[in-house]
Amino acid sequence: MILLAALLLQAAPPPTTLQRATACGLGTPTMRFERVLDMDILSLPAATSATDAQLSCLDEAATLDTRVELSPALQPRFDRIRNTRAAAFMKSEATSWLTQHGLLERAPRFTPGTSDPKAYVRAVEAHCGPAAAGALSGPYGPGAIDPAWLARDGVRVRQPGDVDPLACMLNVTALSGYPLGFIGNETYAR
């Protein structure tokens, strides 16, 4: 009897991404999984006008790891809203990670237009320890993790208590909003 009462009182399941996106008033979205990108894609290509509130609603309807495709008229506005939310989320996560590892207070900061990118990435490497040396100073410039470093040092097994240099660099750069990327191609089994 108690089990039956618990089942009857159980809350309705949370709305799906499609239901939340539909509630934003931009039409009927579709959702598909893109195997090559390994992500869900929420699509509303017929929507050609929207308020910022509707675009914010759509952004919140889809998780940050869901790609949202809109018409060319709306995509840039949506992307600005999404990028702002993603940056705030990344900064919060980076702050938490760096705090947990005792690395927040001395983390180098980057100021666009003022800081020297090469000096900044050298400071990030130094901050993240000797295992990070050269990771951001490779041939692709200070905005990319050197693939040779990644292949050589980025996946090395560390001693217990060692700070993961890749996680450290990603978190330090996310804290400052510094644009950092990976170079490389992935191959897929056929």
The values of phi and psi at residue 34, to 5°, are: -95, 110
- Please determine, for residue 11, whether its predicted confidence score (pLDDT) is greater than 60: no
Residue 187 or 28, more confident: 28
* Residue listed under structure tokens 């978190």: 171
| pLDDT (tens digit per residue) in 136-172 | 988 888 889 988 888 886 666 567 777 889 999 999 9
Cβ burial of 139 (10 Å; 0-12, 13-18, 19+) is exposed
- Please determine, for residue 58, whether its predicted confidence score (pLDDT) is greater than 70: yes
Q: pTM, whole model, 2 decimals?
A: 0.74
CA 141 to chain centre: 21
CA 128 to chain centre: 20
| pLDDT (tens digit per residue) in 165-174 | 999 999 999 9
| pLDDT (tens digit per residue) in 63-99 | 888 999 999 999 999 999 999 999 999 999 999 999 9
pLDDT value for 156: 65
Strand order in the sheet with 39-44: 30-34, 39-44, 67-70
Per DSSP, 132 falls in state: G
CA distance 11 to 68: 29
pLDDT value for 150: 85
